[in-house]
Structure 1
Amino acid sequence: MLFTLVVIFFCFSCKKDSSPRDPEPEPQSTQKPKPTEHGNSTGSVISKTIGSDGGTIEDSTGSLKVVIPQGAVDGPVNFTIEPVENKFKAGFGTTFRIKPENTTFKKDVEISIKYNEDDLKGSPKSSLFLCYQDAEGYWRKAAGCIIDSANSTLRVNTKHFSDWTFAAEISSSGGDYFGTIKLKQGEEAKIEIYGIAKYDEGTLDELISPEPIDIKGKVISWSLYGSGNLTPQGDAATYKAPGNFTSSEIVTVIAGVKGGNPSKPDEVTYVIKKILLINDEYIEYRIGGVQHIASVPQMRYSGGGVLVTGTGFLMSYIGTRVGKYPFGPTAVSGHVNMFLTHSIENKSYQSEANCSGTMIYNIGSVFFTSNTGYIEGRFAGDFFKENLFGCPTGNLYGTGTFRVKVK
């Protein structure tokens, strides 16, 4: 079986906090990019009225924050945030619709979006940038974006509200929801490198093309860490899994791209692709950016619900439907509780916690794609750090996928 992966190479990015403003690269396209349709709503609208004194509005997960400074508006304005479908192919995470779109601001407002390691799918943090879709459906790179690596945040000052998301100069598509390729014995995955052109129309926020272009020999190296074979083919490479393995394994393929940052043409930037070698059943997860494979995956029925377990992993829930199950009390159908072990810290992280006799539940969910034959799906969310003597003292972000036979 052949899986084709596309590693998308952009032409511009945010700047680091302490770096000077980089010069703009030469335009790479004389044809205007095509617009895309605007995404449909995927969640509830958050609304807040902010006046001349200024204020802040955030989405329900804390991923997006909009800061309205004092004096930016003359009187009360109703601001809204709504999650929508991501129509930018190379975009990461959620796209947010920020309104009102046609408000005239006397001062710049600040838009910031938080990212997690798993959002990046192997892209270097230094290549991230914020972008938005204008009223006509064209995508634009927001000028002056700042990468705050210490707080895993991208931010920009703007006077423009629309649909906002973030992307990277160098990123990878393909694989599962989190960008990981899953292969069985003897299967292959072809990794190809492409570019995305910009269109210079003399505006500060340049147009971004959603269509890939030839990267023209900028891949200078391929590396394989793990079992199997990698065959480089210039700007592409083919990975083949071993013909026989007895346990799951994480394999890493790294492509070195010269000129990933157009302002530093001699700099080499690396794209990292994770490949999971799987048997019929597996549980894999990342907690705090550390990859784990839970051995001995299995399921059983307990107390009217379902338990899915593996080494360092436990998930319990009541329900048979596919779809989204938020973290919550498992006594209520349609909610899920999870327990993950961080192997390096030797600590446990949970989706719920007992805080002075009161149960509290973190923000996250499991999305089941199958409950027949196999329990299969993915999860993402914040997990409380275990504290045996009181309320939780911190969170780590965790994601993962699973496929366990119903018995």
Structure 2
Amino acid sequence: MKNNMWLTGMIILSFFLFSACQKSNDIIDTPPVDEAGIPPVNDDGKTPVGSPVGAASRKTVDAKGGQLSSADGRIQVVIPAGALESAKEISIQGITSELPGGIGNAYRLLPHGEQFKKGVTVIFNYKKEDLAGTLPEFLDIAYQDNDGSWLAASNPTVDKTNRKLSISTTHFSDWGYFKSLNLTPEEATVELGGNVALKISTRFPYIDPDDVPAGQTTIKVLREPRELRADEIKKWTYTGNGILISRASQAFYTAPDEEPDTNPEAVTATINLHRKGQFMLVSNITVLAGHGVSYLHVDENFKSPVNNGNCMLYMYGSFGADPGMSKRLVKINGNVVEADLWSPGIIRCKIDREISGAIEIIANNKTVARSVLRKYTGNFLYERFQGGKTNSRSTNPLKETTEFKIVYRGFGAPCPAGVNPTFLYEQMAAFGTRADYTLGGAAAVTTPGSCPTTTSVSLNAASGTLLLNTISGSRDTRLECAVKDIVGGIEIRMQFRVIDVITGVKVQRSTCNFTSFDTPKPLDVSFEGFSNQPIILSFTEPGGLAIKSSNKIQSPNLSSDILIEAWDGTGSPSHYQTDGLMPAIFSNK
């Protein structure tokens, strides 16, 4: 195509493991691959069960019927009249999602296994951002079966206007919704002549609900996604001046050597379904030209009196003299943002808490620089068993669980040498960063002797949510997350604690002769074992964060704060040194 043609050809050859004759037009197709029939998939789809997150919602429903929504409003259950013979308490508990490809939390509908006389409607309220890389038709609802596998209800009802996804069921279980088919990446940014590998995958053995065998009302959800076969894709489409080579579920895009007239460029995959209509997935690829931006960062502290409710974007580079308020323009993802400072080397913009995407800087109706405000999100789980290994294997272990959502906006790379980021102070995580915590369960520790002493505690689960930069006056309750740009990811240092999560806790001490209770005390949750320690997170595609080089990290062994403080110091607790000391775990969710 131009100077980079030879290199592009070599990359494409490696990517597809086959040779293709390059043409001068935009798309190169290869003959369909004979892959008729559904390939065998060695995937039982089984996963662990989720852990409670946040508060549960409860309501007593009788034969007249009723409805109940989750505490976060994401799921609603509608029980018609006659579905129940007598009054029962119905509850919805948010849980960590183990659903493959799941979006957000899953939900535990209780009582588990409850069988209804009539179909109960389960409704999920999906968000616009849930459709990244997919279509409403490819959002599906699934429940976890008793053996740990996930089964999706065939042909759910989609209300595109109100963004609702619903199914009818006659039983309760753990439920969630997910992308059954999607294109990755749904958006990307490349240099002139740069490359992007695209792929379409599904969580189903077959992609068309019409292919479900007669009488079968559920579809098995695959734990690992499979790529689409050639017969499941009609075509790939691209109309720009770069190159697109496609083969079945994969395509390889090479950007042109000059900035395209339409930027970002669109690569479209049309899915082959038996139903009427066009089912097209689009990846928007921004081609960077005439960069001019050497580094950027965001002051995310919109609570600062100086920022007056805004986040502030700082960009460093070569922008030329200020053309004046009426002749300068900055766009992010096509949206105009206010540039309140423009100098030859620094531009500052007021931005909202969530915007991200391609940046275009315009002076005198001419684009002088481009860049990208990148956004990455990761979900992580902190677990700490407070009663030792033996207690951790019980049905209701004394446990502290916090689900962290960490959001980053920035350059996506360290500040280059020679660039002086004048306004760069300590960076912090972005809006949307939060902690959902739960504390509860039971544990007991015994001091051996002729008359053993057992110290025990049993707690009803308490849950809550703490948002980023929520700091109490005493600074005892807080969630802070400092961020540093590194190669391929970020380094975070997080501080988290919530005091008085449960108050009036009475630890019980029993011997052969008597039983007593310690003075009531409040209990906290925290990030012990990792607080303010550097944790390296890598960027993953598309737009994700994950612990670098591992699925989890663990702290040194920690003792039970709840039980060790109640022990009176006599004898030696039998489990603390050999069984009671356990590390806290911080893992990818």
Band of TM-score, shorter chain: 0.5 to 0.7
Q: Which secondary structure state, in structure 2, belongs to the residue aligned with residue 106 of structure 1?
A: strand
Note the C-alpha offset of 1:235: 4.0
Q: Match for residue 197 of structure 1?
A: 205
User: Which of 64, 69, 90 is equivalent to 2:80?
Assistant: 69
Note the C-alpha offset of 1:238: 0.6
Q: Match for residue 219 of structure 1?
A: 233
CA contact (8 A) 1:58 1:81 kept: no
Residue deviations 1:164-200 (CA, integer Å, cap 9, x gap): 233455422x44xxx4334344432212344531586
Bigger RCO of structures 1 and 2 (CA < 8 A, at least 6 apart): 1
Q: Match for residue 195 of structure 2?
A: 188
Q: Match for residue 146 of structure 2?
A: 135
Residue deviations 1:345-394 (CA, integer Å, cap 9, x gap): xxxxxxxxxxxxxxxxxxxxxx99973249989xxxxxxxxxxxxxxxxx
Q: Match for residue 289 of structure 1?
A: none
Note the C-alpha offset of 1:88: 1.2
Distance 2:154 2:228 in 1: 25
Q: Match for residue 251 of structure 1?
A: 265
Distance 1:222 1:31 in 2: 26
Distance 1:63 1:79 in 2: 14
CA contact (8 A) 1:255 1:271 kept: yes
Residue deviations 1:53-111 (CA, integer Å, cap 9, x gap): 3322212332211112233231232412314224313x444433322222222222110
Which residue identity does 1:308 align to in structure 2? M
Equivalences for residues 337-376 of structure 1 within 5 A: 371-373=483-485
Q: Match for residue 308 of structure 1?
A: 312
Distance 1:83 1:253, change over 3 A: farther
Residue deviations 1:83-140 (CA, integer Å, cap 9, x gap): 4224313x44443332222222222211001222321223232343322221212221
With normalisation by structure 2, the TM-score equals 0.43
Which residue identity does 2:483 align to in structure 1? N
Distance 1:77 1:314, change over 3 A: same
Which residue identity does 2:93 align to in structure 1? I
Aligned residues: 304
Note the C-alpha offset of 1:230: 2.1
Listed as ranges, the gaps of 5+ residues in structure 2 are 1-7, 16-35, 207-211, 314-329, 331-335, 338-349, 355-424, 435-466, 471-478, 492-542, 544-589
- The answer to whether the aligner puts 1:149 opposite 2:160 as a matched pair is yes
Distance 1:241 1:201, change over 3 A: same
- The answer to whether the aligner puts 1:273 opposite 2:286 as a matched pair is no
Q: Which secondary structure state, in structure 2, belongs to the residue aligned with residue 159 of structure 1?
A: strand
CA contact (8 A) 1:36 1:87 kept: no
C-alpha RMSD over aligned residues: 4.7
Distance 2:312 2:205 in 1: 45
Listed as ranges, the gaps of 5+ residues in structure 1 are 6-25, 284-295, 327-331, 336-366, 378-400, 402-407
- The answer to whether the aligner puts 1:238 opposite 2:252 as a matched pair is yes
Q: Match for residue 34 of structure 1?
A: 44
User: Which of 35, 57, 73 is equivalent to 2:68?
Assistant: 57
Which residue identity does 2:268 align to in structure 1? I
Distance 1:247 1:129, change over 3 A: same
Which residue identity does 2:205 align to in structure 1? A
Distance 2:305 2:149 in 1: 52
CA contact (8 A) 1:200 1:206 kept: no
Which residue identity does 1:192 align to in structure 2? K
CA contact (8 A) 1:123 1:170 kept: yes
CA contact (8 A) 2:41 2:205 kept: no
Q: Which secondary structure state, in structure 1, belongs to the residue aligned with residue 205 of structure 2?
A: strand
- The answer to whether the aligner puts 1:105 opposite 2:116 as a matched pair is yes
Note the C-alpha offset of 1:201: 10
With normalisation by structure 1, the TM-score equals 0.59
Greater strand fraction, Structure 1 or Structure 2: 1
CA contact (8 A) 2:108 2:173 kept: yes
Distance 1:166 1:282 in 2: 40
CA contact (8 A) 2:298 2:427 kept: no
Which residue identity does 2:484 align to in structure 1? T
Identity %: 18
Note the C-alpha offset of 1:253: 0.9
Q: Which secondary structure state, in structure 2, belongs to the residue aligned with residue 105 of structure 1?
A: strand
Q: Which secondary structure state, in structure 1, belongs to the residue aligned with residue 221 of structure 2?
A: strand
Distance 1:281 1:72, change over 3 A: farther
CA contact (8 A) 1:255 1:270 kept: yes
Higher alpha-carbon deviation: 149-158 or 27-36? 27-36
- The structure whose Rg is larger is 2
Q: Match for residue 47 of structure 1?
A: 57
CA contact (8 A) 1:193 1:215 kept: no
